[in-house]
């Protein structure tokens, strides 16, 4: 029965939301009046309808879906009733299934962050693994491969933050090629950061003044790495930062102030990228609830309201309709 009971007797999927998202929806989400439901379309006068029917219509070209190999119109009659598989699956899904899909998609993106960061740090991981298996020096044995572990852990942590800052965690629909491009850009920025750190360390050893570099996540560096005009989370970071409530913003600023200056920009960009992803998920969850509410109203008007619809109405879910 839709949102109240699932087909397999499972609990309300709202309880399966990620704890950080639940905290975000309750504390960070902007407050205010609920979104207004769409109003009924205005009926056109009969005179306008009659005049529109008398006007000659231009012949319409048959719609050719992108799945067809013949975009010139051949075999169009075979494709006129074609419905993509994903649309057929969506029609059979309940509101509960749609909410579950949103939660699963976000959790999959979070899992992909760790997997991709591990792929980008494959060399560092192998160095650590080989050190554990067969240490080459007495120092590695005594320190339990501490240097190799630090190198791998830092690579993994920074690659994860770069991926978040570049928008990999967002719920935007993208192709595997676009996801791979973001992965390559994250690794490119990490290698650029290592080169800057090596140049600074070398200057200090030689007694020279260390060179100054702008943050690897600056708008210019990100644009050079992405090699595209797409907007990144950093382009509207001020708007995102304003969405954080003052008490939470102070807590984040205190956390950033305790970090080295070189890491503050990376940490802030990763935080904003993660927040942008949470906003995207919260928007999809909100849209799912609005769609479910509209469907309840339609069922009630058609005299097909379910027991769950009636219970939710008694609980006040439709009090402003």
List C-alpha distances in Å: 43 to 49, 297, 321. 10, 20, 21
pLDDT beyond 90 at 125: yes
Of 192, 170, 187, nearest to 281 by C-alpha is 170
List C-alpha distances in Å: 56 to 60, 105, 281. 12, 47, 46
Q: In whole angstroms, what is the distance from residue 258 CA to residue 147 CA?
A: 24
pLDDT beyond 80 at 311: no
Q: In whole angstroms, what is the distance from residue 136 CA to residue 145 CA?
A: 10
| Residues 128-182: tens digit of each pLDDT | 999 999 999 999 899 989 999 999 999 999 999 999 988 888 877 788 888 898 9
The pair phi, psi for residue 208, each rounded to 5°, is: -95, 165
Residue 233 pLDDT? 46
Taking the CA atoms of the chain, what radius of gyration do you get in angstroms?
27
Average pLDDT of the residues in 91-114: 83
Helix (H, G, I), strand (E, B) or coil at 44: coil
Cα torsion 48, 53, 55, 61: sign: positive
Helix (H, G, I), strand (E, B) or coil at 37: coil
Residue 230 pLDDT? 45
**Pair 269, 237: CB distance under 8 Å:** yes
Of 48, 86, 46, 91, nearest to 66 by C-alpha is 86
pLDDT beyond 50 at 256: yes
**Pair 12, 268: CB distance under 8 Å:** no
pLDDT beyond 50 at 228: no
Q: What is the DSSP letter of 166?
A: T
Q: How far is CA 99 from the centre of its chain?
A: 15
Q: What is the pTM of this model?
A: 0.65
List C-alpha distances in Å: 250 to 80, 195, 236, 239, 253. 57, 33, 20, 16, 5
Cα torsion 167, 168, 171, 172: sign: positive
Of 291, 285, 283, 295, nearest to 99 by C-alpha is 285
Residue 153 pLDDT? 96
Residue 264 pLDDT? 82
pLDDT beyond 70 at 12: no
Predicted confidence band of residue 46 (pLDDT cuts 50, 70, 90) = low
């Amino acid at each position: 029965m839709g949102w109240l009971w699932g087909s397999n007797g499972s609990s309300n999927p709202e309880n399966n939301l990620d704890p950080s998202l639940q905290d975000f929806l309750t504390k960070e989400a902007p407050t205010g009046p609920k979104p207004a439901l769409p109003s009924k379309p205005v009926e056109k006068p009969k005179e306008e309808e009659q005049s529109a029917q008398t006007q000659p219509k231009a012949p319409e070209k048959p719609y050719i879906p992108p799945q067809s190999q013949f975009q010139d119109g051949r075999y169009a009659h075979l494709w006129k009733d074609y419905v993509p598989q994903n649309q057929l699956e969506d029609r059979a899904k309940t509101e509960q299934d749609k909410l579950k899909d949103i939660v699963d998609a976000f959790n999959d993106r979070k899992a992909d962050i760790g997997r991709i960061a591990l792929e980008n740090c494959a060399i560092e991981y192998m160095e650590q693994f080989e050190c554990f298996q067969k240490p080459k020096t007495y120092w590695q044995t005594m320190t339990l491969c501490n240097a190799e572990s630090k190198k791998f852990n830092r690579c993994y942590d920074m690659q994860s933050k770069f991926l978040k800052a570049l928008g990999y965690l967002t719920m935007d629909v993208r192709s595997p090629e676009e996801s791979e491009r973001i992965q390559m850009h994250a690794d490119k920025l990490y290698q650029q950061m290592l080169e800057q750190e090596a140049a600074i360390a070398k200057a200090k050893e030689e007694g020279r003044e260390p060179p100054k570099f702008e943050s690897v996540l600056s708008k210019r560096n990100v644009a050079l790495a992405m090699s595209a005009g797409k907007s990144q989370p950093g382009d509207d970071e001020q708007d995102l930062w304003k969405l954080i409530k003052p008490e939470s913003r102070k807590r984040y600023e205190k956390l950033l102030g305790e970090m080295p200056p070189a890491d503050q920009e990376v940490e802030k960009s990763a935080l904003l990228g993660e927040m942008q992803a949470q906003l995207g998920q919260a928007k999809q969850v909100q849209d799912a609830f609005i769609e479910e509410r509209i469907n309840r109203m339609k069922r009630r008007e058609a005299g097909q309201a379910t027991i769950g619809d009636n219970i939710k109405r008694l609980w006040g879910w439709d009090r402003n309709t």
